[in-house]
Amino acid sequence: MDYKGVWILGEQDRGKVQTVSYELLKRGKTLAEKLNVDLVAVLLGYQVSPAELESLIHYGADKVVYVDDPVFGNFLPDPYINSLTKLIDKYKPEILIASATSTGRTVAPAIAIKCHAGLTADCTGLDIEEGSRNLIQTRPAIGGNILATIKSPDHRPQMATVRPHSNQPMDPDPTRKGEVIYEKLEAKFLKSRSRQVAFIEMKEEGANIQDAEIVIAGGKGCKTEENFKMITELAKILNGAVGASREAVDLGWAKYPHQVGLSGKTVSPSMYLCAGISGAVQHLAGIKTAQNIVAINSDPDAQIFQLADIAVEADMFEFLPMLIEKLKARLNK
């Protein structure tokens, strides 16, 4: 049987579809249109409401394949891997893309092995090769200094994971119609060799940078941990989250959950304001989907200015205290 169709691996948490699912649908839509096939969202969950399932259709899915079982109330690798492998064997999609979250990074490699398929991780670009239906997968390599183009011409499905928040979802269309397929799997596919003992939420200082509307970030140019506190203060004033370059994290000025870039997190805030960051390609890859980028740097040739919507050529040690003072004065009126 020929493999046909584009699948995205949807994610849910306690019955609510996660934003990464909608982001994948936008990527998948482009691929499905080029191949002239259906775009399918596959979702494993427990007691996910019809409205949540319909939301996947509103964001671009033509069909939703849903498996409902208590075992999917929490993430356990075995049921996910075995169930998805079974569904792939039944429906035979030619492409499957997942988000490079902990879920996607855990299950996608195992599924690829079981299906004897190729997998490219952490892609920044996906396209279709003309005339072959091959998935062209682009990802950074050698620390982000080059971009590698990869394809898996001999095996199906073609699989890739993409960075969460590396693109914005499409606008939802509540008038879109599609089909929700409820799948029931045999008990043997739902068995797990592990069980969840407890869930401990990671505590971060400030808001989660991937969910924040405003991110204020600092880099090595802050020079000292004491100076980096201006970044924290500005973020607090603007009710934003604190971001940091890899160098700032390595120096201990911020913790890893705040790291922005290829080796950290990709962010898509309404405003990304940074100071003391020159704009290495690894960092730029993590902020390119921000709606507005404000960069403060004393070097007129700084790489960050090439991506910035507003470039402030100034000494951050003069500019930031003045900005903080004026914002405080406005808030205190």
Average pLDDT for 283-303: 90
Residue 204 has pLDDT above 60, yes or no: no
Average pLDDT for 228-250: 93
pLDDT band at 46 (very low <50, low <70, confident <90, very high): very high
pLDDT at 143: 60
Lowest mean pLDDT among 6-20, 58-72, 187-201, 228-242: 187-201
Average pLDDT for 234-246: 93
Question: Which pTM was predicted?
Answer: 0.75
pLDDT at 145: 66
Average pLDDT for 15-33: 94
pLDDT band at 197 (very low <50, low <70, confident <90, very high): confident
pLDDT digits (tens, 9 = 90+) for 138-192: 887 766 567 889 999 889 999 999 988 878 899 999 999 999 999 999 999 999 8
pLDDT at 202: 64
pLDDT digits (tens, 9 = 90+) for 26-35: 999 999 999 9
Same fold yes or no, 6-189 and 214-331: yes
pLDDT band at 282 (very low <50, low <70, confident <90, very high): confident
pLDDT at 144: 59
pLDDT band at 211 (very low <50, low <70, confident <90, very high): confident
pLDDT at 205: 56
Q: The domain 6-189: what is its CATH number? A: 3.40.50.620
What mean pLDDT is reported for the chain? 90
In the chain, where the domains are located: 6-189, 214-331
Pairing of strands 125-128, 135-141: antiparallel
Between 199 and 312, the more confident residue is 312
Q: How many CB atoms lie within 10 A of CB 89?
A: 10
Residue 206 has pLDDT above 60, yes or no: no
pLDDT at 35: 94
pLDDT at 304: 92
Q: The domain 214-331: what is its CATH number? A: 3.40.50.1220
Average pLDDT for 91-101: 94
Residue 289 has pLDDT above 90, yes or no: no
